[in-house]
């Protein structure tokens, strides 16, 4: 049972930072930026490149986060800002095109082979039947720290109040003297930095690879929708629900139905679980579990 909890928390950490950033940006621009998940992939490769240049891991992650944050701002300014003016559907389709271009560019630069970080091999801690590595604990701890810092900035600073005001009512916020463009660009930079950091933390326990963003796309979108698009903290709870579902799929022993033991679903069914949760969310709670926004008819 404790192993199930550990696995769920680790998977939640993998999804939380990217889902948080996606939901945060949606609150500003009102379209689901599919290209956002690729910042995690780009960030993982940039961290590997920084380490190859001799940077320690922490400095390489910072370099990666800042680079992706700036890249996210430039993409919004030059591409997404114009697409949004043509409507959210066009913007979402355009973000998919941008996502494909980012993958093609990284494939040309890095190739198709996964890139592992040159880090010391972490220890394995074991309590009874529960096993967890120090790398997984470090990734989980860093994710919790980032979410805690983000929460403080969002709810207890004037800048955070400005972001929430703009997300809630743009016209009223603009009438109050808030600089909407500056806030949106800042939010895009923060979201890009958080996504890149999330991708780097995921790569600690696996590697940086070209399809990393695509593999995150469905569960991250499902988590953001479950939490209520535009509600970054709700996206974290959505990530937890997705992680619980995915972990259950691969941990339940279905042998009782076959008169034997050790019958488990293949890991390739994990995405199917995310599809099911996403479909149920769209059918039952299309605005998310934690979205309390009042909508006019």
The pTM score is 0.90
pLDDT of residue 18: 96
Element (H, E) at 206: none
Check: CB of residue 117 under 8 Å from CB of residue 204: yes
Among 47-56, 152-161, 214-223, 288-297, the least confident range: 288-297
* Chain segment 17-71, per-residue pLDDT in tens: 999 999 999 989 889 899 999 999 999 999 999 999 999 999 999 999 999 999 9
* Average pLDDT for the chain: 88
Q: Which is higher by pLDDT, 215 or 122?
A: 215
What pLDDT digit, counting tens, does each position of 80-96 carry? Answer: 999 998 888 899 999 99
DSSP 93-157: HHHHHHHHHHHHHHHHHH-SS-B----PPPPEEEETTEEEEHHHHHHHHHHHHHHHHHHHHHHHS
Around 156, how many Cα atoms within 13 Å sit in the side-chain half-sphere? 6
Would the pLDDT of 206 be above 90? no
pLDDT of residue 295: 45
- At residue 131, what are phi and psi to the nearest 5 degrees? -125, 135
Looking at residue 291, its pLDDT comes to: 62
In the numeric block, which tokens belong to residue 293?
A: 């926004």
């Amino acid at each position: 049972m404790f192993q199930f909890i550990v696995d769920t928390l680790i998977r939640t950490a993998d999804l939380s930072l990217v889902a948080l950033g996606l939901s945060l940006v949606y609150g500003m621009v009102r379209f689901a930026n599919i290209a956002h998940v690729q910042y995690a992939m780009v960030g993982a490769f940039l961290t590997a490149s920084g380490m190859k240049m001799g940077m320690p891991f922490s400095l390489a992650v910072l370099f990666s986060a800042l680079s992706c944050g700036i890249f996210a701002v430039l993409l919004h300014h030059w591409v997404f800002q114009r697409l949004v003016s043509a409507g959210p559907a066009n913007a979402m389709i355009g973000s998919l095109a941008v996502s494909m271009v980012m993958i093609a560019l990284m494939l040309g630069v890095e190739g198709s082979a996964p890139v592992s970080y040159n880090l010391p091999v972490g220890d394995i801690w074991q309590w009874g039947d529960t096993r967890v590595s120090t790398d997984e604990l470090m990734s989980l701890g860093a994710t919790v720290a980032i979410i805690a810092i983000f929460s403080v900035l969002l709810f207890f600073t004037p800048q955070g109040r400005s972001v929430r005001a703009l997300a809630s009512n743009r016209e009223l916020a603009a009438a109050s003297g808030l600089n909407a463009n500056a806030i949106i660009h800042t939010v895009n930079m923060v979201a890009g930095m958080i996504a890149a950091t999330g991708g780097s933390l995921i790569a600690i326990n696996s590697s940086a690879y070209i399809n990393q963003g695509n593999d995150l796309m469905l569960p991250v979108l499902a988590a953001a929708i479950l939490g209520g698009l535009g509600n970054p903290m709700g996206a974290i709870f959505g990530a937890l629900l997705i992680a619980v579902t995915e972990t259950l799929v691969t941990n339940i022993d279905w042998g009782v139905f076959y008169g034997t033991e050790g019958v488990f679903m293949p890991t390739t069914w994990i995405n199917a679980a995310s599809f099911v949760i996403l479909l149920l969310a769209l059918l039952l709670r299309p605005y998310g579990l934690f979205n309390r926004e009042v909508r006019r008819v």
